[in-house]
Copies of this chain bind each other. A is one copy, B any other.
């Protein structure tokens, strides 16, 4: 029985990089992470969605949407959430050769 690395499995199951399906998948994968990060940070602080909502002034339904990537998210929202959770978000960009990184 042949075994695969995750990368191999992804190639096999989702299609090779560069194809539309795969790009779509990678895209959504990254989008999902935002929601996961929000949820992770919230749980780290032992808060319910309702409590977090109160911290930034929105209803719990809104937090649920953010965590489940029901809609796209703006930078402003991301920062608002992580600020409330006393966390620091960093974005960094890796180019093909050089690496550019900003706080």
Contact = CB atoms under 8 A, between A and B. Distances in A.
Q: On chain A, which size bracket covers the interface?
A: 35 or more
A36 B103 CA distance: 11
Given A86-B96, A94-B87, A95-B85, A75 B41 contact: no
Q: Is the interface of A mostly helix, strand, loop or mixed?
A: mixed
A68 B75 CA distance: 14
Query: How many copies of this protein are present in the complex?
Result: 2
A91 interface: yes
Contacts of A72: 74-76
Residue among A33, A76, A91 facing the most chain B CB atoms (10 A cut-off): A91
Interface of A: 23, 27, 30-31, 33-34, 36-37, 40-41, 44-45, 72-76, 78-79, 82-83, 85-96, 98, 100, 102-103
